[in-house]
């Protein structure tokens, strides 16, 4: 999403203090940013800060001949490829909804043809007031996108929805709006994280998957315009913008969720580390250590009987009635990467296999980077170097799109 021209409109609420951070995040994401602010916003953040960070003059006055001479309000409105109002106060939303053009920001908003994203921030009661609800309904009906507000402690001392979304969340939402739409209309299912198989009420068998790779795939698919369902085993990661997330814990729960979601999906990315086995006789209560000691000789090994879990990926590939659904499998291998991956691709029957070497310390489980081999059923093998997982996710989806295009 490099190079979009973003007009940041800052209106006058306490959340305006986050505008410099937001502006920096927009610049880091590769955007050119110009900024206008209401008179009230100037009480919360110094224009010079925004001017320094954006590298452009920051304007507030509409009827200032010197400022109008440099960059006219119509020129600003035309320059913008995307308008972002952050924070958007209740008053500013009301003025937008009513088409007022009584200061520079509201005039630019009336004059622009660019899409508009607003990040509301206000007191809880103002947010819930019927007037604000009606104004948002009007704005949404006109195509204005809304991000947030988040829930939490508000500057006014209330607790609830009203906090402006975090700058990174706003930038991620923008990425959805500005990203390529190569997967628009597609339904994509992604699995992520490591399943946990209960042994008793407190103990589980698990693995080291952090979910980072799967979450990066879900975020990238959403950025490309897909409707994404992320079926997630336990992780500590936030849900990517625009992604619908379903939490599961065990392999059997993941199996049910995947089969339900895959029914109308055109792409399934099976990135989760699904446990191959589960304890055969999980106990509903906590197994007491004393009980074990009294039953067994002290220091004698304790046995757990394991039972095989169904292979969800193989089932999905078998049940495909047509080649319409594109299924991607992953393989986590600790040795003989290529040979093991080839065997896995043949056994599972997927359209593309992404194989990672989990013996590497800098890749695979729980790292921020990964290096993979992409294997196709016709014997092609492509090695992708060590890359950040979000970049790798984009490369994997590029390959999926290319293969589907060739198939079509
Ligand atoms: O989550 P991260 O920390 O970012 O790490 C990413 C990752 C290493 C977990 C990921 O890149 C990866 O390799 N995921 C697959 C892990 C795995 O379970 O591999 P496997 O070789 O055991 O399974 C092969 C494939 O079959 C996988 O697509 C898996 O989802 C699927 N499978 C496995 C077992 C099972 N019972 N049902 C399945 O569907």
pLDDT band at 22 (very low <50, low <70, confident <90, very high): very high
What pLDDT score does 20 carry? 98
What value does the mean pLDDT of the chain take?
92
What is the 328 CA–ligand 1 centroid distance (Å)? 11
* CA–CA separation, 3 and 179 (whole Å): 11
Instruction: Give the residue among 229, 280, 273, 282 at the shortest CA–CA distance from 251.
Output: 273
Ligand 1 atom closest to Cα of 193?
Answer: 1
pLDDT tens digits, 213-248: 999 999 999 999 999 999 999 999 999 888 999 999
Ligand 1 pocket: which of 209, 314, 356 to mutate (most atoms <8 Å of CB)? 209
Protein residue closest via CA to atom 5 of ligand 1: 365
Is the model's pLDDT at 69 over the cut of 80? no
Contacts of 391 (CB under 8 A, 6+ apart): none
More confident residue, 93 or 61: 93
Beta bridge partners of 267: 188, 326
Instruction: Tell me which of 156, 271, 317, 350 is the catalytic residue.
Output: 156
Average confidence (pLDDT) over 299-303: 75
Environment class of residue 249 by beta-carbon count within 10 Å: exposed (0-12), middle (13-18) or buried (19+)? middle
Give the other-Cβ count within 10 Å of 299's Cβ. 6
Q: Is 329 in the pocket of ligand 1 (CB under 6 A)?
A: yes
Ligand 1 pocket: which of 250, 273, 275, 355 to mutate (most atoms <8 Å of CB)? 273
Predicted TM-score (pTM) of this structure: 0.81
Protein residue closest via CA to atom 27 of ligand 1: 330
Lowest-pLDDT choice from 19-28, 263-272, 291-300, 396-405: 291-300
In the chain, % of residues over pLDDT 70 = 94
Match 């597609």 to its residue by tokens.
186
Ligand 1 pocket: which of 258, 261, 274 to mutate (most atoms <8 Å of CB)? 274
Is the model's pLDDT at 2 over the cut of 70? no
Is the model's pLDDT at 68 over the cut of 90? no
Lowest-pLDDT choice from 63-67, 74-78, 201-205, 359-363: 63-67
Instruction: Give the residue among 145, 169, 238 at the shortest CA–CA distance from 25.
Output: 169
Q: What torsion do the CA atoms of 216, 218, 224, 228 make, to the nearest 10 degrees?
A: -170
Q: Is 312 in the pocket of ligand 1 (CB under 6 A)?
A: yes
Do the beta carbons of residue 164 and residue 15 sit within 8 Å?
A: yes
Q: Is 64 in the pocket of ligand 1 (CB under 6 A)?
A: no
Is the model's pLDDT at 1 over the cut of 60? no
pLDDT band at 289 (very low <50, low <70, confident <90, very high): confident
φ/ψ of residue 97, rounded to 5? -60, -30
Do the beta carbons of residue 2 and residue 26 sit within 8 Å?
A: no
In total, the chain counts a number of residues equal to 408
Q: Is 216 in the pocket of ligand 1 (CB under 6 A)?
A: no
Average confidence (pLDDT) over 351-363: 92
Ligand 1 atom closest to Cα of 315?
Answer: 39
Match 């990203």 to its residue by tokens.
179
Average confidence (pLDDT) over 367-386: 95
pLDDT tens digits, 148-192: 999 988 887 888 889 999 999 999 999 989 888 899 999 999 999
Q: What does the angle CA 391 – CA 393 – CA 397 come to, to the nearest 5 degrees?
A: 120
pLDDT tens digits, 129-149: 999 999 999 999 999 999 999
Q: Which domains does the chain have, with CATH numbers?
A: 5-178 (3.40.50.1950), 187-407 (3.40.50.10300)
More confident residue, 61 or 255: 255
- Examine the residue annotation and report whether 156 is marked as an active-site residue of this protein: yes
Do the beta carbons of residue 9 and residue 34 sit within 8 Å?
A: no
Protein residue closest via CA to atom 14 of ligand 1: 271
3-class secondary-structure state, position 273: strand
- Measured distance between the N- and C-terminal CA atoms of the chain, rounded to whole angstroms: 27
Is the model's pLDDT at 292 over the cut of 80? no
């Amino acid at each position: 999403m490099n190079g979009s021209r973003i007009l940041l409109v800052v209106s006058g609420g306490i959340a305006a203090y986050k505008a410099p951070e937001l502006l920096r995040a927009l610049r880091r994401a590769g955007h050119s940013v110009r900024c206008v602010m209401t008179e009230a916003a100037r009480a919360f953040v110094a224009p010079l800060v925004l001017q320094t960070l954006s590298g452009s003059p920051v304007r507030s006055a509409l009827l200032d001949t010197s400022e109008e001479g440099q960059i006219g309000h119509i020129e600003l409105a035309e320059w913008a490829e995307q308008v972002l109002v952050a924070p958007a106060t209740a008053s500013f939303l009301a003025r937008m909804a009513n088409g007022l053009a009584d200061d520079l920001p509201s005039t630019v908003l009336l004059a622009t043809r660019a899409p508009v994203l607003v990040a509301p921030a206000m007191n809880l009661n103002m947010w819930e007031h019927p007037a604000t609800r009606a104004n948002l309904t009007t704005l949404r009906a006109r195509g204005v996108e809304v991000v947030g507000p988040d829930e939490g402690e508000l500057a006014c001392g209330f607790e609830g929805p009203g906090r402006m979304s975090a700058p990174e969340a706003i930038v991620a939402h923008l990425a959805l709006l500005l990203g390529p739409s190569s997967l628009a209309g597609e339904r994509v299912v992604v699995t992520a994280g490591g399943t946990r198989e209960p042994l008793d009420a407190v103990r589980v068998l698990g693995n080291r998957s952090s979910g980072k790779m799967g979450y990066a795939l879900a975020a990238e698919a959403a950025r490309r315009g897909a409707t994404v369902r992320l079926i997630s085993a336990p992780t500590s990661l936030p849900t990517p913008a625009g992604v619908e997330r379903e939490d599961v814990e065990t392999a059997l729960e993941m199996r049910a969720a995947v089969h339900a979601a895959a029914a109308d999906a055109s792409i399934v990315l099976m990135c989760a580390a699904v446990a191959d086995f589960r304890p055969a006789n999980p106990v509903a209560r906590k197994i007491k250590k004393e009980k074990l000691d009294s039953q067994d000789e002290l220091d004698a090994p304790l046995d757990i009987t394991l039972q095989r879990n169904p292979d969800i990926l193989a089932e999905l590939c078998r049940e495909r009635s047509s080649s319409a659904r594109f299924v991607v499998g992953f393989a986590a291998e600790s040795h003989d990467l290529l040979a093991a991956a080839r065997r896995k691709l043949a056994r599972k029957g997927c359209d593309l296999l992404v194989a990672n070497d989990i013996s590497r310390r800098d890749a695979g489980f729980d790292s921020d980077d990964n290096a993979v081999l992409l294997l196709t059923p016709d014997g092609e093998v492509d090695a992708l170097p060590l890359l950040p997982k979000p970049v790798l996710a984009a490369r994997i989806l590029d390959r999926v799109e290319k293969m589907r295009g060739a198939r079509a």
